[in-house]
Amino acid sequence: MPDFPIAPLCTLAFGILTIVGGAIGFKQAGSQMSLMSGFISGLLLLIGSYLMFGGVPQGLMLSAIVSLLLVIIFIVRLIKTRKFMPAGMMVIMGVANLVVMWASIPAI
């Protein structure tokens, strides 16, 4: 991993954004599913970020899996609703997080 921990920082930001987005979804639409799924997936991203900061390789794998699942879920939602917010933003953030994590994998 490079000296500047960009992958854990991006994952940390994505995790916080996911939790906040779930809370906003609950507040605006009363969606308990948004609240629970946002909290759970955001918490998993925060755990992954913490593990990456500690140099634990499983943190990268956990974060990549959660990010990929979120990207898939929000692509489906974007296609269904055709509304950029929040689905489009989450797709962009998730793909960006995956790209940063991919770039942080050391070459063998």
Residues 70-90 pLDDT 10s? 999 999 999 999 999 889 999
Residues 18-53 pLDDT 10s? 999 999 999 998 889 999 999 999 999 999 999 999
Read off the amino acid at residue 20: V
Least Cα distance to 22 among 12, 32, 7 occurs for 32
19 within 8 A of 43, measured Cβ to Cβ: yes
Confidence of residue 107 (pLDDT cuts 50, 70, 90): low
pLDDT of residue 1: 44
Q: Work out the average pLDDT over 6-25.
A: 96
